[in-house]
Amino acid sequence: MQLNWEQVVEHVSGKHPNVGAFLEMGSLVGIEGNQVMIGYPASASVARSMMDKPATQQVVVACCSALAGQPVKIRVVELAASQTAAPSPAQARAARARSQKDALLEQTRTHPLVKQARDVFGSDVVDIRQAERKETT
């Protein structure tokens, strides 16, 4: 069975944001047969306890079954400290945002006008923010 975990989380978050927030904190540990195993670190005990509730699991099972095209069961587990799992969707999104910000910071530092200002003032660019675009009507 093939299942795109980010798609599952996105689908659940779209229809049930309260469940999606807790699902985002977990990671797909594996799929065995028709059973999807979701792991949570010990630090996410609240999310794990919410995912242990039958009503919450029903939402996730329905989504997984629809996307997989077959009946699916889920199992929620606590990850051992030594156990590694794929990054959670929230962690993956944060890593992408960090990577994009780092690339934009480097691009800004190498811009000729910024380089000139850095040389004149003897300083460095330490943070950047994108300005909000105002649409004119």
Q: What local confidence, expressed as pLDDT, does residue 12 receive?
A: 92
**Mean pLDDT estimate for the chain:** 84
As to burial, measured by CB atoms within 10 angstroms (0-12 exposed, 13-18 middle, 19+ buried), residue 64 is buried
pLDDT, one tens digit per residue, over 52-106 is 999 999 999 999 999 888 999 999 998 886 655 566 666 667 777 788 888 888 8
Q: What local confidence, expressed as pLDDT, does residue 118 receive?
A: 84
Higher pLDDT, 85 or 20: 20
Please give the model's pTM, rounded to 2 decimal places.
0.61
If residue 24 lies in a helix (H) or strand (E), which one and from where to where? helix 17-24
- Do 74 and 35 meet the contact criterion of CB atoms below 8 Å apart? yes
Region 100-117: what's the mean pLDDT? 84
Q: What local confidence, expressed as pLDDT, does residue 61 receive?
A: 93
Q: What local confidence, expressed as pLDDT, does residue 3 receive?
A: 83
